Amino acid sequence: MDNFGSLHHVELQQVSDLRSSVDTWTWLFDALGYTPHQEWSGGRGWRHGSTYIVLASASRGGAHDRRLPGLSHLAFHAGTMQNVDRLWTAAPQNGWSRLYADRHPRAGGDQHYAAFLEKAERFKVELVASDAVR
């Protein structure tokens, strides 16, 4: 039972445009060590260890807004501060907008080194450095 209490999977987002979302998320998942796990006409999945993440086509229209009730964002361990900086630099060329640029990399506080990114469908991720002062 060494997986007890850990996440099995996350159905991350119901997307309006699966094709463009897959391209954007694939870059990030590749950079974070996830590998393709599932693929079907209405979705994709990536695995990291015993956890996997799924993107699926939305069955209804509408837009995600992390500021409304519901999921705000996911935070990923992203390695060293140097790796967080590398991802921050590459993000715009890979479909991600930078958030809180005026406070980067300390937007989460002085003891927290992270990059905050958002994709076109307004889904936010936080990439946290493991070697930052706590």
Tell me the domains of the chain and their CATH numbers: 9-128 (3.10.180.10)
Q: pLDDT grade, residue 120 (50/70/90)?
A: confident
Its pTM stands at: 0.86
* Per-residue pLDDT tens digits for 11-63: 876 777 888 888 999 999 999 999 999 999 999 999 999 999 998 887 776 66
Contact 108, 114 (CB under 8 A): yes
> Using CA of residue 129, residue 122, residue 21, residue 6, what is the dihedral sign?
positive
> Using CA of residue 14, residue 19, residue 21, residue 25, what is the dihedral sign?
positive
Q: What is the mean pLDDT of residues 100-113?
A: 91
